[in-house]
């Protein structure tokens, strides 16, 4: 397979300008002749659909929720980065670029990340103009804060609801285009297949979630902005409807999947209660600014946390990382929590939790100050756990939160299937092996507002207007295949529910393909996944009927995808025989238990090509070339 990242020529600073100057344009009068399908209405999809419609393209947008305003981008709390340097503290496009590349442990493309940093400033301007109520200073200027251990204050925010406000901004822009008749919106639809004619994407098959019907849509190009695959772990901070389905269907149709083993586990989540649990709730990591993380020194210590004296506590992050302390990056904080719990030092009913203690901060600053900063988070914690964090330490444990891996795309955000593009969390492009806080919102909006509107033009201009409509046999075939798959699932009539089997898959993934991985564990995981997949196809009980609303059937389809995808993830983790960023292979650690990269052999993007159900995918790689930064070892000591 010939892979071309299409990185433009020239110095890093000029690549995006060079690209835009050389890119073929579509004549404004012709734009309306091109039909574009956008799947997903979150920050990336909503922004793309709105912007492409503003440019004059004929857009159809699909979302799985009942309204485009509910995409999971809405749940992001902390903020969005930009290189505005309003605080005058030394930030620049170059520094944001460098921090992002380094944060990703040198496993992302320089050119993509630099472009991301360049357009970051336009995003803030755009959102402010839409009426996004960002936090402001008394003088009326925008407020910034330092986030996730960054040494400059470059994070813009809207209380603890930044994702919500940015999404509602994109939703308002999208709504304006829907109202004007420029975007046709399809809610409660789930992509079940991508239709290829020849080697090119020509449309999609979508399930109408209310009626159960398989619907056909043809277009000149298909844009996937369908988010990540964090729910492969069953319990995650993701919403119920988040799934890998759309990206996985693209993979099955020939798109390469890049770096699937790069998944982010967020350190500050409320631990699991019981088996009934459906999701884990994330609390903003800003809590780590004032909270101190500790466990009892003695595993058999059953005293209430307040009764454990200082001398019997281990503040393990402060001890191991004296300069960053509790503010080490997410992957480091998460991995250390797991290490403590695996060693039997964890607390709470399951032993899989550590304390996050505000007693010192309350003593130092007073309860009012702490309440002003974190009041809503404390209330949320109190409501869920029934413990009052003003009186007793919180208990936290890491949870799956974001996935850096995704469909492989070139500089134009095009997958290896011509005419199929992927944006936001659905692609792999900008975060490398670890995403920095407040960078997900930045990437989603960058792709949607400022990248795809330019980079889709050359493809369309080259191809001309598509003559293929939904009458083409390929659409009938794909719809029939999807319906047949449903029939198969319903006919199994086994004894285990989809939820039950998903929970079992999640356990395998958390245990062996989670925060720390090793060869034996990964091989064991692959066997366990294969066994679960076999059991699923023999023993699942879906219930209900075809051609009607059937949530269990929708979920069965999503789990079927995960039972194949999980194996690719484990295989990728096994093949990447180094540690980098979030991917810790226990065999490769520095003396201080940090990720030990192997730039000689693994400075590349790992990509997987589908070869058939149950057969091992084929490996490809795109070497990563660093011309502008020096590869260094991350250290947070």
- Catalytic residues, which ones? 330
Report the C-alpha gap between 267 and 361 in whole angstroms.
20
Minimal distance, residue 377 CB to other proteins, in Å: 11
Query: Smallest gap, in angstroms, from Cβ of residue 84 to other proteins?
Result: 7
In our burial notation (b when 16+ CB lie closer than 10 A, e otherwise), range 565-592 reads bbbbbbbbbbebebbbbbbbbeebeeee
What's phi and psi for 363, nearest 5 deg?
-65, -40
Q: Under the criterion CB under 8 A, does residue 282 sit at the interface with other proteins?
A: yes
Task: Give me the 544-563 binding string for other proteins, x by CB under 8 A, dash otherwise.
Answer: x----x-xx-----------
> Is 304 one of the binding residues for other proteins (CB under 8 A)?
no
122 near other proteins, judged by CB under 8 A: yes
Q: How many helices (H) and strands (E) does the chain have?
A: 18, 21
Q: Is 109 in the site for other proteins (CB under 8 A)?
A: no
Residue with Cβ nearer other proteins (464 or 544): 544
3-state secondary structure 142-206: ECCECCCCCCCCCEECCCCCHHHHHHHHHHHHHHHHHHCCCEEEECCEEEEEEEEECCEEEEEEE
Closest CB to other proteins among residues 281, 314: 281
Q: Nearest distance from residue 315's CB to other proteins, in Å?
A: 24
Contact flags string 405-444 toward other proteins, x per CB under 8 A: ----------------------------------------
CB 588 within 8 A of CB 574: no
Q: Minimum Å distance from CB 614 to other proteins?
A: 27
Q: Which tokens is 466 given?
A: 């598509």
Restricting to residues 518-547, name those near other proteins by CB under 8 A.
541-544
The only residue of 15, 31, 72, 202 in contact with other proteins, by rule CB under 8 A = 72
Between the two ends of the chain, the Cα-to-Cα distance in Å is 43
CA distance to 104, 121, 475, 491, 495, per residue, from 156 (Å): 21, 11, 44, 51, 50
Minimum CB separation of residue 448 from other proteins in Å reads: 9
Of 183 and 510, CB closest to other proteins? 183
Cβ neighbours of residue 448 under 8 Å, at least 6 residues apart?
43, 44, 45, 46, 47, 48, 51, 170, 225, 423, 424
CA–CA distance, 254 with 194 (Å, rounded to integer): 10
19 vs 316 by CB, closer to other proteins = 19
Nearer to other proteins, 480 or 551 (CB): 551
Q: Which is nearer to other proteins, 165 or 427 (CB)?
A: 165
| Number of chain positions touching other proteins (CB under 8 A) | 84
Tell me which residues in 363-392 interact with other proteins (CB under 8 A): 380, 383-387
Query: Any idea of the CA torsion for 487, 490, 492, 497, to the nearest 10 degrees?
Result: 150
Query: 574-633: which residues touch other proteins (CB under 8 A)?
Result: none
Q: How far is the CB of 143 from other proteins (least distance, A)?
A: 8
**Stretch touching other proteins by CB under 8 A, among 63-71, 317-325, 416-424, 595-603:** 63-71
From CA 287, how far away is CA 396, in angstroms rounded? 11
Among the listed residues 134, 358, 381, 421, the single contact to other proteins using CB under 8 A: 134
Integer angstrom CA distances of residue 172 from 39, 65, 179, 256, 423: 17, 16, 10, 33, 20
* Interface residue with other proteins, options 432, 453, 458, 514 (CB under 8 A): 453
Output 352 or 449, the one with its CB closest to other proteins: 449
Q: How far apart are CA 197 and CA 486, in angstroms?
A: 23
Q: Which residues of 73-92 are buried (b: 16+ CB within 10 A; e: fewer)?
A: bbbbbbbbbbbbbbbeeebe
Based on the shown chain and the rule CB under 8 A, indicate whether residue 42 belongs to the binding site for other proteins.
Answer: no
Cite the beta strand spans of 416-526 per DSSP E: 420-422, 496-497
Q: Binder to other proteins among 276, 300, 311, 612 (CB under 8 A)?
A: 276
- Which of the stretches 256-264, 493-501, 513-521, 604-612 binds other proteins when contact is defined by CB under 8 A? 493-501
**Shortest spacing between CB 111 and other proteins, in angstroms:** 21
Q: How far is the CB of 214 from other proteins (least distance, A)?
A: 18
Q: Looking only at residues 235 through 274 of this chain, which bind other proteins when binding is defined by CB under 8 A?
A: 239-241, 273-274
Exposure on the CB side of residue 563, measured as CA atoms within 13 A: 25
* Per CB under 8 A, 21 contacts other proteins: no
Answer for which of 3, 142, 461, 476 binds other proteins (CB under 8 A) is: 142
- If one asks whether residue 84 binds other proteins (CB under 8 A), the answer comes out as yes
- Residues with Cβ < 8 Å from 65, sequence gap 6 or more? 41, 71, 187, 188, 241
DSSP 136: B
Taking CB under 8 A as the criterion, the residue among 14, 199, 298, 500 binding other proteins is: 500
Distance CA 425, CA 402 (A): 8
Nearer to other proteins, 139 or 198 (CB): 139
Among 495, 592, 616, 631, binds other proteins (CB under 8 A): 495
Interior CA angle at 32 toward 29 and 34, to 5°?
A: 115
Site residues for other proteins, 151-210, by CB under 8 A, read 158-159, 161, 164-165, 168, 171-173, 175-176, 178-179, 185, 187, 210
Contact call for residue 278 and other proteins (CB under 8 A): yes
Residue 1, exposed/middle/buried by CB under 10 A (0-12, 13-18, 19+)? exposed
State the virtual CA torsion across 483, 488, 490, 493 in degrees, nearest 10.
180
Q: How far apart are CA 242 and CA 567, in angstroms?
A: 19
**Nearest approach, Cβ of residue 181 and other proteins (Å):** 10
Assess 504 for contact with other proteins (CB under 8 A): no
Return the residue of 130, 463, 485, 589 that touches other proteins, per CB under 8 A.
Answer: 130
Least distance (Å) between residue 331 CB and other proteins: 23
């Amino acid at each position: 397979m010939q892979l071309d990242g299409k990185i433009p020529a020239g110095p890093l600073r000029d690549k995006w300008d060079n690209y835009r100057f050389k890119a073929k344009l579509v004549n404004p009068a012709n734009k309306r002749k091109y039909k574009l399908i956008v799947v997903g209405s979150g920050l990336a999809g909503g922004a793309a659909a709105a912007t492409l419609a503003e440019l004059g393209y004929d857009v159809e947008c699909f979302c799985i929720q009942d309204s485009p305003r509910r995409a999971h981008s809405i749940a992001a709390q902390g903020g969005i980065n930009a290189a505005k340097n309003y605080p005058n503290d030394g930030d620049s496009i170059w520094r944001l670029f460098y921090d992002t590349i380094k944060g990703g442990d040198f496993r992302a493309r320089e050119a993509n990340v630099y472009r991301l940093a360049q357009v970051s400033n336009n995003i803030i301007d755009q959102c402010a103009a839409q009426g996004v109520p960002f936090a402001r200073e008394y003088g009326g200027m925008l407020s910034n804060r330092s986030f996730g251990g960054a040494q400059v204050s470059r994070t813009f925010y809207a209380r603890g609801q930044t994702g919500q406000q940015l999404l509602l901004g994109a939703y308002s822009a999208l709504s304006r285009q829907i109202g004007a008749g420029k975007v046709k919106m399809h809610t409660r639809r789930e992509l079940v297949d991508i239709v290829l004619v020849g080697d090119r994407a020509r449309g999609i098959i979508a399930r109408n979630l209310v009626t159960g019907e398989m619907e056909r849509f043809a277009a000149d190009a298909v844009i996937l902005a369908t988010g990540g695959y964090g729910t492969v772990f069953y319990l995650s901070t993701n919403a119920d409807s988040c799934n890998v389905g759309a990206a996985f269907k693209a993979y099955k149709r020939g798109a390469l999947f890049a770096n699937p083993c790069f998944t982010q586990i967020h350190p500050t989540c409320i631990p699991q209660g019981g088996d009934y649990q459906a999701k884990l709730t994330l609390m903003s990591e800003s809590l780590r600014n004032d909270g101190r993380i500790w466990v009892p020194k003695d595993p058999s210590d059953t005293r209430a946390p307040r009764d454990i004296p200082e001398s019997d506590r281990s503040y393990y992050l402060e001890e191991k990382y004296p300069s960053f302390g509790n503010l080490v990056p997410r992957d480091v904080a998460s991995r250390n929590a797991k290490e403590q719990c695996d060693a039997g030092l964890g607390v709470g009913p399951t032993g899989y939790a550590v304390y996050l203690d505000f007693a010192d901060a309350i003593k130092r600053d007073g309860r009012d100050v702490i309440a002003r900063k974190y009041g809503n988070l404390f209330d949320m914690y109190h409501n869920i756990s029934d413990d009052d964090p003003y009186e007793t330490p919180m208990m936290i444990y890491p949870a799956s939160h974001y996935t850096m891996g995704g469909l492989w795309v070139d500089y134009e955000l095009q997958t290896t299937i011509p005419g199929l593009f992927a944006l936001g969390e659905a692609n792999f492009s900008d975060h490398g092996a670890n995403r920095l806080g407040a960078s997900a919102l930045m990437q989603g909006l960058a792709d949607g507002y400022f990248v795809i509107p330019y980079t889709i033009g050359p493809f369309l201009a080259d191809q001309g207007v598509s003559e293929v409509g939904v009458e083409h046999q390929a659409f009938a075939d794909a719809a029939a295949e999807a319906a047949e798959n449903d029939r198969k699932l319903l006919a199994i009539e086994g004894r285990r529910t989809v939820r039950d089997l998903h929970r079992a898959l999640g356990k395998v993934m958390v245990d062996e393909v989670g925060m720390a991985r090793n060869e034996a564990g990964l091989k064991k995981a692959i066997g366990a996944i294969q066994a679960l997949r076999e059991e699923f196809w023999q023993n699942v009980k879906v219930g209900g009927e075809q051609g009607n609303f059937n949530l269990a059937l929708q979920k069965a389809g999503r789990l079927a995808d995960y039972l194949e995808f999980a194996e690719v993830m484990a295989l990728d983790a096994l093949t990447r025989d180094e540690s980098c960023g979030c991917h810790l292979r226990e065999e490769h650690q520095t003396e201080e238990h940090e990720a030990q990269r192997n730039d000689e052999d693994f400075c590349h993007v790992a990509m997987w090509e589908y070869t058939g159900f149950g057969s091992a995918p084929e490996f490809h790689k795109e070497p990563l070339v660093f011309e502008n930064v020096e590869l260094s070892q991350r250290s947070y000591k």
